[in-house]
Amino acid sequence: MLALVGLAALAGVATIFLPAKEFLARIAGTLITSAFAIALALPASKKLDREETRPMGLAMLAAIVPCFVLVLASIWIGLVFGWRVELEVFFTAMHYAACAVVFLVALGLSRGEATRVSGRLAVVAALACFVIGVPAIWADRMGFGTWDLQAKLWGTSWLIFWSMVLAGMSLYAVTTRTTPWRWIGVLAAAAALAMGLYGIWNELKDPPVWFAQALIVALAIGLANILNTLTLEGLQRYVALGTIGTVLLTAALLSYLNFITEGFRGRVDENELMIRLIAAGSIVSACGLLAITIFLAANRRALVTTSAAVKEIRAVKVTCPRCATKTDAAVGVGGGRSRCGGCGLIFVIELAEPRCVKCEYNLLDLKGDLCPECGTPVAESMAGVRPAGV
């Protein structure tokens, strides 16, 4: 991969000083694309090593390889078929890449209990967007449509995508927590989809006031629902509530501007104060969302592997589950590795000190089922832990 990057740099410099600049630029693009593809494939290939992550690894590789081939085709196909085909192949590659990224994220979400419904909806959104978007790119080339049809198909594909994503945001954690107001966001997203499709295919010229309003409501309710369902305590919870407030306030201001400008078609620049307030609310909301993202990353508890209770333990006696041979297995940070003397089975063992998920109370030697400090069930402290150093 590093060699490809170096060769890409040389090819790029060569395009400046040598003739045949177009050909050398295509070589540089090929090398850079190959380096990016390898960089993306490396983490995907690592997931193939473990049975539980293998399906996701295969899905990632299945997304990377076609995108790589399409980008390479867009680089070189222009030499034979002209620049218009080159652009169409490139747009197909970019469209595929965008849908593939969303599809992989949605696939991961669909595996969780709280995110199963929203994840599956996003999977359908990504697939529908791709299936409708490809004909939008190639309709004129294949002779079954005009530029007008292409524009309608393209608008339809991304309208379906965003409407379903917004609905999925309101359906986040629908299986674990019940908040009746979340359905306002779902209905608003459905209304935006219906109005948008009707307007696209009937070529309506009316101001899109209610269409824009439905999108604003769906986005605001979706964000509020996600923030409301996150497990945050103390100051973090107040930050989440404050962010919900700024999101809803910004949505209210945006709704007012939407109505007075007839779907943002009027003189928006005449409402300078309103625009400044909306911009300020958007900045505060974005900062709040970023802070909450940091909170969630910090709240992922690492296993305590350096305490005095466990750091002096170098080995444990185990019985091989395959051949029943008894052996001393090494332990250590990141997983001690040892080999069964009977069948050769590899043991990867790591010891950690149990801590309460909420108050960090040491649960070692505790006989009860609740944390004596804060009353949190001990079973909850086993969920969401990650290896040290991850």
- Inside any domain, residue 268: yes
Domain end, chosen from 271, 299, 327, is at 299
pTM: 0.69
Across all residues in the chain, what is the average pLDDT? 80
Domain end, chosen from 299, 322, 339, is at 299
Whether residues 261 and 351 fall in one domain: no
Is residue 100 within 8 A of residue 67, CB to CB? The reply is yes
User: What average pLDDT does the segment 295-314 reach?
Assistant: 69
Q: Which of 348, 361, 355, 349 is closest to 304 using CA atoms? A: 355
Domain end, chosen from 278, 299, 320, is at 299
Give the residue with greater pLDDT, 242 vs 378: 242
Per-residue confidence (pLDDT) for residue 195, from 0 to 100: 93
Please, which pLDDT band fits residue 388 given cuts at 50, 70 and 90? very low
Task: Tell me which residue range forms the domain holding 221.
Answer: 2-299
Which of 23-27, 100-104, 265-269, 332-336 bottoms out in mean pLDDT, i.e. has the lowest? Answer: 332-336
Name the helix (H) or strand (E) containing 330.
Answer: strand 326-330
User: What average pLDDT does the segment 96-113 reach?
Assistant: 82
For 70, what's the count of Cα atoms within 13 Å in the CB-facing half-sphere?
Answer: 18
Query: 180-238 pLDDT, tens per residue?
Result: 888 999 999 999 999 999 998 887 777 789 999 999 999 999 999 989 888 777 888 89
Whether residues 313 and 280 fall in one domain: no
Per-residue confidence (pLDDT) for residue 79, from 0 to 100: 73
Whether residues 241 and 271 fall in one domain: yes
- Inside any domain, residue 294: yes
Q: Which residues are within 8 A (CB) of 36 and not within 5 positions of it... i.e. 6 or more apart?
A: none
User: What average pLDDT does the segment 330-350 reach?
Assistant: 78
As a whole number of Å, the end-to-end CA separation of the chain is 24
Whether residues 101 and 249 fall in one domain: yes
Query: 33-47 pLDDT, tens per residue?
Result: 787 788 878 877 777
Name the helix (H) or strand (E) containing 71.
Answer: helix 54-76
Q: Let me know the angle formed at the C-alpha of 382 by 47 and 49, rounded to the nearest 5 degrees.
A: 15
Query: 211-220 pLDDT, tens per residue?
Result: 999 999 999 9
Q: How many separate domains does the chain show?
A: 2
